[in-house]
């Protein structure tokens, strides 16, 4: 190889081959011979005043290439053409890869980049060219403040969030004045007096008695039995900290919802006698905002470093409500429905169809929220089958539309489309299209179109 960087890609392969003892072009090479050949290559390829990789042991990058807020431009193949496009740096050497790769992410792609493929936003010299300029001036990157090997930079998705402590009083510009507070209290008193005859054993409340920080009232008064209201809750203290932005606690969660989030987070920090993490049962009724509380908990756990969650709910329609609650809180957490994953497939095994679908929605790390229903939870891989259906003509598409109801469930059997091997697909009564949301989306989709159809066996 004339390019030293390209030649170094084969070093791990050569080392593994030497360990097997197999022949290469009629000869068997030992590990010592391979290491000697690699060392000789490095001595001949290393420029003057530049240490070899064995001597250097680390790869150096300019600090601007690791700035997530500003981003970088990378040389990426898009739509058949290679050009510079903006992306966000994620990590150096993700998932055990070499530090010489910078993993970046954009809206339409994810890729590893070398220094020669990364430049500042707006154009300029690449990271590799800047390193060559630095070396030509007699400097070395390990001794320069504008270069780093990544060890002094935290390449995580965590936001710079100050932990809030709802159990401690706080001051805020959003704090309501005394007139507003007294007015709200008088309204609640009038409402309670009007309902006194019908709700003798109930009490109304808008605010928590244990949350001391600045929060907003619940949109509507909540009721609970007087016997339950007479129970004194444990006080929140300084250790009850939540990794949430202050604006979320003050403007997007009510005082009662924030109280639930605090007690649930406290419970998650405890361990059961068998070593498992403790849980929390939330028994609120309709209108209390259980989905908003769960979203806030996921947001808190995400900022605390717990990046993988499972959300189980009653129906699949609530998936869109879950995404809405996360978005309303400002939580940039990817979420996907479990129904889109092939059944009985390992999610962490690279190359499988399940892993490819997971990466498409949650990224290569697999961090995010997977949403599923109770009915899907009890189904086994033998009972549920998802198969592809390729529609290449308008006639095949019209045939399928005629067989579907508003919920994309087949009402009559018949043949429509082909599978991946070219064979004809025959749908049955009860089969359901799971890759689209509704019938309008199917009618508006462009051809050719590949659908995922679910079949539940009896």
pLDDT at residue 190, as a whole number? 58
Q: Name the residue with higher pLDDT: 108 or 448.
A: 448
Residue 319 vs residues 213, 294, 356, 374, 413: alpha-carbon distances, Å = 31, 13, 21, 13, 29
Starting at the earlier edge strand, list the strands of the sheet with 414-418.
424-427, 414-418, 384-391, 449-456, 432-433
pLDDT tens digits for range 227-260: 877 888 888 888 888 888 888 888 888 888 899 9
Instruction: Please write the tens of the pLDDT for every residue from 322-378.
Output: 999 999 998 889 899 988 877 656 777 777 778 888 888 888 778 899 998 888 777
Q: What is the pLDDT of residue 72?
A: 92
pLDDT-wise least confident of 27-31, 121-125, 166-170, 199-203: 199-203
CB of 123 closer than 8 Å to CB of 73: yes
Distance, CA of 333 to CA of 327 (rounded, Å): 8
Any idea which of 195-209, 246-260, 408-422 has the lowest mean pLDDT?
Answer: 195-209
For strands 81-92 and 72-78, give the pairing: antiparallel
Q: pLDDT: is 74 or 223 the higher one?
A: 74
CA neighbor of 88 nearest in space, from 69, 101, 61: 69
Among the listed ranges 16-25, 151-160, 180-189, 324-333, which one has the minimum average pLDDT value?
180-189
**Of the candidates 454, 340, 449, the residue with the CA atom closest to the CA atom of residue 397:** 449
Reading the block at residue 233, the tokens are 């809750």
Question: What's 364's DSSP letter?
Answer: T
pLDDT at residue 173 is higher than 60: no
For residue 406, pLDDT over 90 is answered with no
**Mean pLDDT, all residues of the chain:** 79
């Amino acid at each position: 190889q004339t390019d030293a960087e390209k030649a170094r890609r084969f070093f791990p392969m050569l080392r593994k081959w030497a360990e097997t003892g197999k022949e290469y072009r009629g000869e068997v090479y030992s590990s010592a011979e391979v290491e000697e050949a690699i060392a000789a290559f490095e001595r001949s390829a290393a420029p003057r005043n530049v240490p070899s990789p064995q001597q250097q042991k680390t790869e150096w990058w300019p600090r601007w290439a690791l700035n997530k807020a500003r981003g970088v431009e990378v040389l990426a193949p898009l739509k058949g053409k290679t050009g510079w496009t903006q992306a966000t740096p994620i990590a150096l050497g993700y998932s055990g890869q070499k530090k010489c790769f910078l993993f970046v992410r954009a809206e339409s792609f994810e890729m590893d980049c070398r220094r020669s493929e990364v430049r500042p936003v707006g154009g300029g010299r690449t990271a590799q060219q800047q390193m060559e300029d630095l070396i030509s001036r007699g400097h070395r990157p390990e001794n320069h403040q504008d270069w780093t090997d990544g060890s002094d930079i935290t390449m995580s998705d965590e936001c710079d969030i100050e932990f809030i402590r709802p159990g401690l009083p706080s001051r805020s510009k959003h704090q309501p004045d005394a007139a507003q507070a007294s007015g709200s209290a008088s309204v609640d008193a009038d409402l309670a007096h009007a309902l006194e005859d019908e709700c003798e054993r109930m009490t109304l409340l808008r605010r928590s008695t244990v949350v001391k920080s600045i929060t907003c009232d619940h949109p509507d008064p909540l009721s609970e039995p007087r016997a339950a209201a007479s129970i004194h809750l444990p006080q929140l203290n300084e250790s009850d900290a939540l990794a949430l932005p202050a604006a979320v606690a003050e403007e997007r969660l009510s005082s009662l919802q924030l109280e639930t989030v605090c007690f649930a987070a406290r419970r998650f920090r405890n361990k059961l006698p068998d070593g498992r993490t403790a849980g929390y049962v939330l028994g609120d009724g309709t209108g209390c905002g259980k989905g908003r509380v769960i979203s806030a908990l996921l947001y808190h756990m995400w900022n605390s470093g717990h990046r993988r969650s499972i959300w189980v709910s009653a129906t699949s329609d609530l998936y869109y409500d879950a995404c809405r609650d996360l978005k309303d809180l400002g939580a940039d957490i990817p979420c996907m429905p479990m129904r889109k994953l092939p059944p009985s497939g390992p999610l962490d095994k690279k190359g499988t169809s399940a892993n490819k679908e997971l990466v498409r929605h949650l990224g290569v790390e697999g961090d995010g929220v997977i949403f599923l229903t109770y009915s899907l939870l009890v189904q086994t891989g033998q009972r549920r089958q998802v198969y592809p259906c390729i529609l290449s003509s308008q006639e095949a598409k019209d045939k399928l539309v005629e067989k579907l109801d508003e919920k994309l469930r087949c009402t009559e059997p018949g043949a429509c489309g082909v599978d991946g091997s070219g064979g004809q697909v025959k749908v049955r009564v009860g089969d359901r299209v799971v890759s689209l949301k509704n019938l309008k989306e199917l009618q508006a989709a462009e051809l050719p179109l590949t659908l995922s159809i679910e079949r539940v066996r009896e």
